[in-house]
Amino acid sequence: MTSLKTDPLLTPDDNRFVMFPIVDNEIWKMYKKQVDCFWRAEEIDLSKDLAHWETLNADETHFISMILAFFAASDGIVLENLGTRFMGEVQLSEARAFYGFQIAMENIHSEVYSVLIDTYIKDKEQKHKLFTALDNFDCIKKKSDWAQKWIHDKRSSFATRLIAFACVEGIFFSGAFCSIYWFKKRGLMPGLTFSNELISRDEALHTEFAVLLYNKLQKKVAKNKVIEIIKEAVEIEKEFICDALPCRLIGMNSHLMTQYIEFVADRLAVQLAAGEIYGTKNPFDFMELISLEGKTNFFEKRVGEYALATTDKDDGIFDMDTSDF
């Protein structure tokens, strides 16, 4: 386990209460990039969605309902981990700034998923079941249990748990994001699919930040352990989106979805220096823009023109002369 005394990211320092001087420019830029991507729940226009919802068949409405129920619960779990573990463990001011802003964004994600459920589902009993999904649906609870075991894990290092939550945001969300993009490809549910664009962009950035932090830690997790964690997440995600809530309900090919999950996992494994595990290519051309593949820098793409003016200017803010302090 990494010693708090030897890793600068985790070493307590009274200077963490003050933002400047910036110690790590890469982490600071990642924080500023997240700020640039800020958006609000009120910016999602659902005016056309209800008419589309009425045209969907029972399988499709069930699928979307369950996906939204999973997301609504999952953002709360990510929040729990940030608030009770990571924010208290990471000591670098700019890293804590990123997590602080991520908490705000996760709250917005959670609000949007709740609004979507509240808008689409008119039956009060069904709505309540979706809002309490962890008590009602085993396939959602299984994913939740895996994530929560890492929150409550007092033995594993920060690095190990960082990888686990990179899997939560990078793998556990992948099949659901992909399935909603399938509706966009069909020209359906513009409010749902636009919110999916924004949220998937945010979650991709959160995953990238986890990778960035991990690669800055002095003591890494053994390669075989990294692979083990990723494989566990992949198997749970495959079971969820291909078996328990099969994507064939909305006309997607389960075999191709399996390949897509493996593709996403491989990208994460490579970023974590574990190498490809599956050697699988992206089977969905419509997902190319939001994949973690380097050919398209998703974070630079102004999705739906919802990004604030860039702060990446030559104004010296990222190259501070620390001798002034």
∠ Cα 41 43 49 (to 5°): 90
Do residues 292 and 204 lie in contact, with contact meaning Cβ atoms separated by under 8 Å?
A: yes
**Cβ within 8 Å of residue 2, ≥6 positions away:** 10, 157, 158, 159, 217, 218, 219
Count CB-CB contacts under 10 A for residue 251.
Answer: 11
The one-character DSSP state at 168 is: I
Burial of 47 (0-12, 13-18, 19+ CB in 10 A): exposed
Instruction: Please say whether the beta carbons of 117 and 51 come within 8 A.
Output: no
Q: What is the full DSSP assignment across 56-118?
A: S-HHHHHHHHHHHHHHHHHHHHHHHHIIIIIHHH---HHHHHHHHHHHHHHHHHHHHHHHHHH
Active-site hit among 31, 99, 113, 120: 113
Catalytic site residue 99? no
Residue whose entry in the numeric block shows the structure tokens 């079971």 = 239
Q: Rounded to whole angstroms, how far apart are CA atoms 229 and 8?
A: 25
Integer Cα distance of 260 and 283 in angstroms = 6
What is the set of active-site residues? 113
